[in-house]
Amino acid sequence: MKKILLLALVWMSIGLSGQSVEQSYQHHDVMISYGAFPFDQFLSVESTMLTDLYPDKRYVRDHYSGSGTFAFSYRKITGSEKYLWGISLGYNQSKASVFYLGQEVGELNRQFYTVVVDFAYRYVNRGILQIYSGADLGYQFGSETLTAPDDSGLPNGSGNINRVAWQANVMGIRVGKNIAGFMEFGFGYKGIINLGISAQLY
């Protein structure tokens, strides 16, 4: 019985020692990423500028195309290495055709700058593999212009769109040591799929 207990204690100490070696012991995470399908693509096209031009709101958006979201993020890694928090800055732009009662009334161009607080929980941290989830919450500052077709006689317009911004990161996977690639799946201002490079530093 004593031998079994001794073997169990040795096995546990080896396991804990191995786990500590596999942890990164890094305190800063700097990330550059690109996200596809940001939430602006799925939200209502309604805005103050468009409603001023067409008060009955019978306008729709079609032929959407966008740059996706480029983001720069900094996260502080806590002592337990499970929690990360920081700030993210994002930029994206888009263009689309706007139709009113079936008639094309112009090309809509929008661009957004986003500032959010970034939080993540890392539930796997083994060797080169890290798996985590998280969320962002902040604000998005946008501008838009509507350019009517030449010689149409239709009005042009411009305005601002300021709104709450968020990102729900369902799962993120980081593969590598100090410099690594990562992929995140979620929904929000960054998009549905977010790919990037991460540098974790002391």
pLDDT digits (tens, 9 = 90+) for 56-88: 999 999 999 999 999 999 999 988 889 999 999
Q: Is 14 a residue whose pLDDT tops 80? A: no
Q: Using alpha carbons, list the distances in angstroms from residue 133 to 71, 108, 142, 184, 187.
A: 17, 34, 27, 9, 12
| The architecture CATH gives domain 25-201 | Beta Barrel (2.40)
Question: pLDDT exceeding 90 applies to what percent of the chain?
Answer: 81
pTM beyond 0.85: the answer is no
Average pLDDT over residues 189-198: 97
Could you give the CA distance from residue 113 to residue 110 in angstroms, rounded to a whole number? 10
> How high is the mean pLDDT of the chain?
88
Average pLDDT over residues 135-147: 97
Let me know: does 94 contact 62? Beta carbons within 8 Å: no
The pairing of strands 157-176 and 193-201 is: unpaired
Q: Where are the domains of the chain?
A: 25-201
The stretches of 26-132 forming alpha helices (DSSP H) are 48-53
Kindly tell me the burial class for residue 20, based on how many C-beta atoms sit within 10 Å of its own C-beta (0-12, 13-18, 19 or more): exposed
Could you give the CA distance from residue 132 to residue 24 in angstroms, rounded to a whole number? 15
pLDDT of residue 189: 96
Q: Is 11 a residue whose pLDDT tops 70? A: no
Average pLDDT over residues 21-38: 82
Of residues 143 and 15, the one with the higher pLDDT is 143
Query: 25: pLDDT confidence band, cut at 50, 70 and 90?
Result: low
Could you give the CA distance from residue 176 to residue 127 in angstroms, rounded to a whole number? 8
Residues 81-120: tens digit of each pLDDT:
899 999 999 999 999 999 999 999 999 999 999 999 999 9
DSSP label of 6: H
Kindly tell me the burial class for residue 61, based on how many C-beta atoms sit within 10 Å of its own C-beta (0-12, 13-18, 19 or more): middle
Torsion of Cα atoms, 116 then 98 then 42 then 141, to 10°: 10
